[in-house]
Chain A
Amino acid sequence: GAGVSQSPSNKVTEKGKDVELRCDPISGHTALYWYRQSLGQGLEFLIYFQGNSAPDKSGLPSDRFSAERTGGSVSTLTIQRTQQEDSAVYLCASSSSTGRPPSSEKLFFGSGTQLSVL
């Protein structure tokens, strides 16, 4: 597609339920990032993929969070047993970076998934 696509755009769930968030990066982009944005906070890094591998998972808040990427394209972020503090906007970004540190790479962001845990 022309841009990074995320679905769903909004998700309301009950505490304790599992959720899956999907990201379709720009075609040909090998690098993919997940960030979380809470009200009044900056973007919090969650995980970075290069191809199907995740060399940096350091930002995942707990073992309830996991992510995978298949075919070097679509990525899914899964949150198990959701808690109210998981409520936030989850943003996905992709870039054409081939793995070098992002000294000047351009990230293209999706519109995000607004997750609300009741």
Chain B
Amino acid sequence: TQLLEQSPQFLSIQEGENLTVYCNSSSVFSSLQWYRQEPGEGPVLLVTVVTGGEVKKLKRLTFQFGDARKDSSLHITAAQPGDTGLYLCAGASNDYKLSFGAGTTVTVRA
């Protein structure tokens, strides 16, 4: 059983469309991170959110941390083929390991 549930598992959209990926848990996290992973590579950190209700923007990507610090969302505006990849959320508790979701595979068609 995943501590963090991500949805949808797969998402295929046309270039220029918007998309949202969700990360949900019944646990409270001290912070939550989003990573993007491309085939044959390790995950690369996109953002860390720490405060409940926090919203962070990274160009066309908007990240939100739920008020109760149990869930998060990633919204991409006007998606481009370069946004294609596996998006992973990871929650940090009061120990040394991050708990990862299973990921959402995003495909943006040109």
Identify the A interface with B (CB < 8 A): 4, 31, 33, 35, 40-45, 48, 50, 55-56, 59, 91, 93, 99, 101-104, 106-107, 109-112
- Give per-residue flags for B1-45: 1 if the beta carbon is below 8 A from chain A beta carbons, else 0: 010100001000000000000000000001100000000111111
Query: Which of A31, A104, A111 is close to B48, meaning CB atoms less than 8 Å apart?
Result: A104
21 sampled A-B residue pairs with Cβ under 8 A: A33-B97, A40-B9, A42-B99, A42-B101, A43-B88, A43-B90, A45-B97, A91-B42, A99-B96, A101-B30, A101-B92, A101-B94, A102-B97, A103-B50, A103-B92, A106-B48, A107-B43, A107-B98, A109-B42, A109-B43, A112-B42
The docked-state distance in angstroms from the alpha carbon of A114 to that of B88 is 19
For chain B, the count of residues having a C-beta within 8 Å of the partner chain is: 27
- Also in contact, A110 and B96, with CB within 8 A (given A41-B102, A42-B101): no
**B44 to A109, Cβ gap below 8 A?**
yes
Q: Which of B40, B90, B95, B99 contacts A101 (CB 8 A)?
A: B95
Taking chain B's interface residues, is the majority helix, strand, or loop, or is none over half, making it mixed?
Answer: loop
Q: Nearest residue in A to B93 (C-beta to C-beta)?
A: A101
CA distance A107 to B57 in the complex (A): 20
The interface residues of chain B lying within 8 Å CB-to-CB of A104 are: 31, 48, 50, 92
Contacts of B43 in A (CB 8 A): 43, 91, 107, 109
Residues on B with C-beta less than 8 A from A103 are 30-31, 50, 92
* A104, B31: Cα distance in complex, Å: 6
Interface residue? B100 (CB, 8 A): yes
Contacts of A110 in B (CB 8 A): 42
